[in-house]
Amino acid sequence: MSKYDLSQDLKRITSTTMADIVELRLREYLKKKSFKPGDPLPKELELAEALGVSRNVVREALSRLRMLGMIESKKKRGMILARPDILGAFERVLDPLIIDKDTLQDIFELRLVLEIGLADLLYIRKTDKDIEELEHIAKNEVRTESSFRIKNEIAFHGKLYEISGNDTLKRFQNMLLPIFGYVVASEKEFRSGKVTHSDLVEILKKGNKEDFRQGMLEHLKPHFDKLEKTETTDTLTD
């Protein structure tokens, strides 16, 4: 490491293009005018003229907003403000092959945090039908070969998120799946704690929140152990 962390102090020169500015302006405009979903936006040419740029630039900016789901546009009717899909933007960048190692680790930790913290929602919203389905998944799992275990792992934990009744959370988890798969696949062997899925279902049926959290903690323990281990041998990466 050099004496001064230059990349920290000197913030990178970002050649701001017109498209960047227009994107920002449009976002401000939408907010300021407090557009609601369904409201029509000005036409491209009007925007271009008002902003003093070419229609091309406006289109680049609009293309970005459209990608984020903030606007929709139809051939003649013009553009309307849509209700943006928060996670939609996220999904596009979430590719384990591109994300750097540190962030990958961060996200994996995030999963552990989520699953432990999930207990409260589960106990508020679980139904008998949910328990049945969980039981079914857990039962199925015992007699399957090891190659399918990851699939079952996903099914079980996915169902938990579903029970949480939080759509955003569920989608978030679904989005992170490829990353979890990637991290797990990079481990030598499939790790599983002493508490099995069947055990967790049993707790969900008869035990309370704290029991479940304790069980989940035990179930995920190998991962946490790995964390504590890497913690001590941690060095300055990058």
Partner DNA sequence: TTTGTAAATATGTTCTACATAACTAATTAT
Partner DNA sequence: ATAATTAGTTATGTAGAACATATTTACAAA
Report the distance separating Cα 53 and Cα 71, nearest Å: 20
Binding site residues, DNA, CB under 7 A: 13, 15, 17-19, 41, 43-45, 52-57, 59, 62, 73-79
- Provide the minimum distance between the beta carbon of 54 and DNA in the complex, in angstroms, as a whole number: 3
CA proximity to 219, closest of 140, 115, 123, 145: 115
Residue 125 interacts with, from its own copies, DNA, none (CB under 5-8 Å by kind): its own copies
* Residue 4, CA distances (Å) to 9, 95, 169, 216 in order: 8, 32, 40, 44
Q: How far is the CB of 176 from its own copies (least distance, A)?
A: 11
On the CB side of 233, how many CA atoms lie within 13 Å of its CA?
5
Q: Of the listed pieces 41-49, 82-90, 130-138, 145-153, which binds its own copies according to CB under 8 A?
A: 82-90
For residues 105-124, which are near its own copies according to CB under 8 A? 106-107, 109-110, 112-121, 124
- Are 201 and 131 contacting, i.e. CB atoms less than 8 angstroms apart? yes
Using CB under 8 A, list all residues that contact its own copies. 15, 19-20, 23, 27, 30-31, 34, 37, 56, 59-61, 63-64, 67-70, 74-75, 81, 83-86, 88-90, 92-95, 97-100, 102-103, 106-107, 109-110, 112-121, 124-125, 164, 166-169, 172, 210, 213-214, 217, 224, 227-228, 231
